[in-house]
Amino acid sequence: MATALRLKELSKKEDLFTHGHRLCAGCGAPIIVKMVLLASDYPIVACSSTGCLEVSSCISLSTAWKIPWIHSAFENAAATIAGVETMYRSLKKQGKIDKDIKFMTFCGDGGTYDIGFQSLSGAMERGHDMLYICYDNGAYMNTGIQRSSATPFGADTTTSPAGSVIPGKLQQRKDLTKIMAAHNIPYAAQASPSHWLDLMKKVRKALEIKGPKFMNIISPCNRGWRSKTDDAILLSRLAVATCHWPLYEVEYGVTKITFKPKEKKPVVDFLKSQGRFKHLFSPENEWLLKKFQEDVDIEWERLQKEASLYAP
């Protein structure tokens, strides 16, 4: 019997990502990892590419992982876990192993959207039985907050600095969840640590599906977002409530919105407490705020339309 997804039951389970990691206070990544690992009743083998999570969870001779975990180069997490998974399948075929083991990656947006995209796309196309999890904090936080293709439009980073002429990042973020869904894999989803039950249900569902799965999870970073240390959950909740980060899944090509805010909040609510968007609130940058809202609206409309095609 699987553990019921109730706090009372889950609190009895062992944490598989333990204290002793060196991630910053208020970081979203360890919260996400714990939730994902708690959601699974299967033994997990995981891989992380270079990034905050990897560096901070194995900084000296110990690791914070209570599962078999392997680090690979920045661009190769999907390839590495594909290798591990293939070996497992071979051992299973040879009758040398009979346990049901699930394979996962935990990678940041730089190692997923940018440099790791090629190996991710390849692993998905080959159809490995794995769940790729991206914790998306929207920049290269580990190396000092440089822009990535997941950085939202307008954000101030060290390589897209907001000044009097150029107001931060001028490009839109890549919609990776959709790109992954377009690989026609059995399952692609977007989640947020603020909606823990939704997140854990998605992990559970993904683990029951055979084949390549992808989950994109928003992960607030107070150092990079220039927000308060204790705002991680609040900010991820606002990202969902403003539809900047809609919660949805695409299962065998069928799009379903898993959480619809009763009242869609203006995106300003999400932006205003983050220092990386501070410059958007000066009068000359009003157009940026407007554009930001328009982009969110268009995407949200589009998503709803897609979901309505399959509505019961």
Partner 1 sequence: MNKKVLMKGNETIAEAAIQACCRFYAGYPITPQNEIPEYMARRMPEVGGVFIQAESELAAINIVYGASAAGARAMTSSSSPGMSLKQECISYLAGSELPAVIVNIQRGGPGLGNISGSQADYFQAVKGGGHGDYRLLVYAPYNLQELWDITMLAFDKAEEYRNPVMILGDGVLGQVMEPFYPTPYTKPELPEKDWILDGCKGREPRVIKSLYMGEGELEMRNNLLQKKYKKMKDREVKFESYFTEESEVLVVAFGIAARIALSSVRRLRREGFKVGLFRPITLFPFPERELSILAGENRRFLTIEMNAGQMVEDVRLAVNGRSDVLFYGRLGGSIMTPEEVQKKILEIVHYRPHLSKTTFPN
Binding site for partner 1 (CB under 8 A): 50, 71, 73-75, 110, 113-115, 117, 140, 142-144, 146-147, 149, 158-161, 163, 165-166
Q: Whose Cβ is closer to partner 1: residue 114's or residue 129's? A: 114
Q: Whose Cβ is closer to partner 1: residue 106's or residue 196's? A: 106
Task: Please tell me the distance from the alpha carbon of residue 187 to that of residue 210, in angstroms, as a whole number.
Answer: 9
Query: In sequence order, what E strands does the chain have?
Result: 44-49, 69-72, 102-108, 130-136, 187-191, 212-218, 247-251, 254-259
CB environment 69-93: b (16+ within 10 A), e (fewer): bbbbebbbbbbbbbbbbeebeeeee
Q: Whose Cβ is closer to partner 1: residue 140's or residue 292's? A: 140
At 110, which amino acid appears? G
Angle between helices 29-39 and 196-208 (to 10 degrees): 50
> Residue 109 CB, nearest distance to partner 1 (Å)?
11
> Residue 141 CB, nearest distance to partner 1 (Å)?
10
> Residue 58 CB, nearest distance to partner 1 (Å)?
10
Q: Whose Cβ is closer to partner 1: residue 147's or residue 213's? A: 147
Q: Whose Cβ is closer to partner 1: residue 29's or residue 139's? A: 139
Q: Whose Cβ is closer to partner 1: residue 31's or residue 145's? A: 145
At 51, which amino acid appears? G
Task: Please tell me the distance from the alpha carbon of residue 297 to that of residue 244, in angstroms, as a whole number.
Answer: 9
> Residue 166 CB, nearest distance to partner 1 (Å)?
6
Task: Please tell me the distance from the alpha carbon of residue 77 to that of residue 73, in angstroms, as a whole number.
Answer: 7
Which neighbouring-strand residues pair with 213? 131, 187
> Residue 39 CB, nearest distance to partner 1 (Å)?
29
Task: Please tell me the distance from the alpha carbon of residue 283 to that of residue 270, in angstroms, as a whole number.
Answer: 18
At 63, which amino acid appears? T
> Residue 116 CB, nearest distance to partner 1 (Å)?
9
Task: Please tell me the distance from the alpha carbon of residue 29 to that of residue 137, in angstroms, as a whole number.
Answer: 9
Q: How far apart are the first and last CA of the chain?
A: 30
> Residue 159 CB, nearest distance to partner 1 (Å)?
4
Residue 94: Cβ within 10 Å count? 8
> Residue 54 CB, nearest distance to partner 1 (Å)?
8
Q: Whose Cβ is closer to partner 1: residue 50's or residue 194's? A: 50
Instruction: Please give the biggest Cα pair distance in the chain.
Output: 68
Q: Whose Cβ is closer to partner 1: residue 170's or residue 298's? A: 170
